[in-house]
A and B are shown apart, each in its own frame.
Chain A
């Protein structure tokens, strides 16, 4: 259930791919964190994620959650971005048969789902094969 405030809070990550990076050990976190999971230091700076990467695994969802019923079947995968961060998202604008581990994708800004007639429209990132 996405309420407007809950949705609004995540906009920097979902719209602008805002991540952060530990100044000490250089680990990148998405979404941004307050403390580095690797070296426990608290000095992290905001950065933007890479916009390209490759699929490391994927599936095709045929039994979807309620908000995604009109979209099924759809592909969702984990992409290793060129900065080393793994990101989960839908893979669109391609035939399912063409999906393979290792293919290159880029990030595009798309509608993710809507919350029904009186609800909000939810946007974010999706992957498109290059």
Chain B
């Protein structure tokens, strides 16, 4: 296996981009990554997208996007694993370069979610849950994470305020990210007084509906000649699945797919939780960040709430989590999220993260998750 470097990253402003089409959002973003890498020709492409069919009525987008990017005829694949589509696209691109099949691989993620109504978006996202045994009973995604939150509060004493603190922290970070959909700060009080969506989760516990894309260019580390910026390599990659029906899990509060994916990535990178300087996690709901930190081994089981309350995960804490603003503030165009996490980690490791720069970050981790934990992808990155 060859070592794989990330030689270019691109991300554009996220939000409700009514004036832009799916293909324009993607191409604009991918061109930034290609420019950053200093190349204009790629060998192969992966595109993470959860549901372009339900969101914009367009399938077969891997070929469409390759064509509009000026790369027609190259192999191009769309990858779907619900909200982990982007992370999984990265893993497949990584394996393709590591194996020697291709040298230049462009990994992108995209979702255009605001062309449909709120009900239709809720439906499209809901297809990531078990349609026959969860959706059938009127369950929604906030509802599934609310079930996890209530069980976690009961089992470990996690408090409502601790959940709110995750959103407050991520908005604090997001206020320093000009590309974020909601770059402003919120308070614990505003979270606790926001509209209830699925008890105990309120609207400010939830990540938003977003249009956006992100892209990175992968290349064999041994072939990198340009040394104009610090080289960031992918040193560990892990992927695992779990039941998509939450009720089928032995422990509702435990994300086994995250645990297994992390274990695989740690092993490959020869690193452990203690070696990580900065993390981007899949905070689709506030409770998710808490459960993910536990499954990643960053904190003990049940201690995820304490970690945020004690400031361990804040921008100046021991191990900053979601410096980008996370899904909560940056936005969550589902297929793009896993790739955008990587864009943030690379910027941080290269020292290009502006106002939200974390000091002395050398090893980063990105964790992307599908559904209520039915899939997860974890990557570890190191700066040379």
Question: Which A positions have Cβ atoms within 8 angstroms of B?
Answer: 2, 10, 14, 31, 56-68, 71, 74, 76-78, 86-90, 96, 101, 112-113, 122, 124
Contacts and interface: CB of A to CB of B under 8 A. Distances in A.
B143 A76 contact: yes
B197 to A, nearest CB: 5
Contacts of B195: 62
A87 B139 CA distance: 13
Contacts of A87: 247
Contacts of A112: 136-138
State the 3 A-B residue pairs at the shortest beta-carbon distance, nearest first. Answer: A59-B146, A57-B151, A68-B138
Given A56-B252, A78-B147, A66 B137 contact: no
A contacts with B: majority SS: strand
Given A57-B147, A88-B247, A101-B150, A62 B136 contact: no
B120 to A, nearest CB: 8
Contacts of B156: none
Interface in B234-248: 245-248
B198 A61 contact: yes
Given A57-B150, A59-B146, A101-B150, A65 B248 contact: no
Given A60-B196, A76-B143, 11 more contacts: A31-B132, A59-B143, A59-B146, A59-B198, A62-B197, A63-B142, A66-B119, A77-B147, A78-B252, A88-B137, A90-B137
Interface residues on B, range: 20 to 34
Contacts of B245: 88
Contact of A76 (B123, B139, B151, B196): B139
B122 interface: yes
A62 B198 CA distance: 6
B134 interface: yes
B81 interface: no
25 contacts: A57-B147, A57-B252, A59-B146, A60-B199, A61-B138, A61-B140, A61-B143, A63-B122, A63-B140, A63-B197, A64-B138, A65-B123, A65-B126, A67-B138, A76-B139, A78-B247, A86-B248, A86-B249, A87-B247, A88-B139, A88-B245, A88-B246, A112-B136, A112-B138, A124-B137
A87 B248 CA distance: 8
A27 to B, nearest CB: 11
A56 B151 CA distance: 7
Contacts of B122: 63, 65-66
Contacts of A65: 119, 122-123, 126, 135, 138, 140
A100 B40 CA distance: 59
B68 interface: no
Contacts of A122: 136
Given A10-B132, A124-B136, A59 B147 contact: yes
B137 A76 contact: yes
B154 interface: yes
A74 B138 contact: yes
